[in-house]
Amino acid sequence: MVRTQTVLDSWKTIRNDTAQAVEDFPAGDLDFRATPDLMTFRELALHCLDAGHALTGAMLAGIDNMAVPEFREMMSKYVYGLPADADQSSIANALRGAIETRVAELAAKPPEYFSEMMTRFDGQQVTHLEMIQFVKEHELTHRSQMFMYLRLKGVVPATTRRRQAKK
């Protein structure tokens, strides 16, 4: 059995490391991209913020079918909405603030909420808890990209710094 609070705590940890990556990235270089066809570091950070906020926001609003043609329009109602040129501090603060809000909202739901079914945007039937797990894994994927960008700039990600400090 997967415990809801464990999933929420894990997402919070991932999100705080995403915010730390934003703070650690070289100032003035947020528009760096590893190759021309990849998102910039800033775009990755904003995507983590908006995707997590929108998908869980729609779910909390009672949307139980995201596999609709107007999916992107529907999600636009729930994005966090920082400007595309937001600075490091604004992005990091929004990442931390948004996760605190969402985790509190989700934690307030009764246990049966997390076993309720919904349809994800790809048509897959999932429980609310599985949707949160998907959102968390989505962010983890993009956070890994952000960590690679940090490494390309000569910065050691916070997760590695913490591990090294324990030695």
pLDDT tens profile 121-154: 999 999 999 999 999 999 999 999 999 999 999 9
Tell me how long the chain is: 167
| Torsion angle of the four alpha carbons 161, 38, 103, 99, in this order, in degrees rounded to the nearest 10 | 70
| Torsion angle of the four alpha carbons 96, 133, 10, 21, in this order, in degrees rounded to the nearest 10 | -50
CATH number attached to the domain at 4-166: 1.20.120.450
The first and second tokens of residue 26, run together, are: 């070289």
The per-residue pLDDT for 5 is 95
Average pLDDT score, the chain: 96
The per-residue pLDDT for 26 is 96
The per-residue pLDDT for 81 is 92
pLDDT in tens, 88-106: 999 999 999 999 999 999 9
The per-residue pLDDT for 166 is 86
pLDDT in tens, 37-62: 999 999 999 999 999 999 999 999 99
pTM of the model: 0.95
CB 14 within 8 A of CB 140: yes
The per-residue pLDDT for 167 is 83
Domain borders along the chain are: 4-166
SS3 at position 119: strand
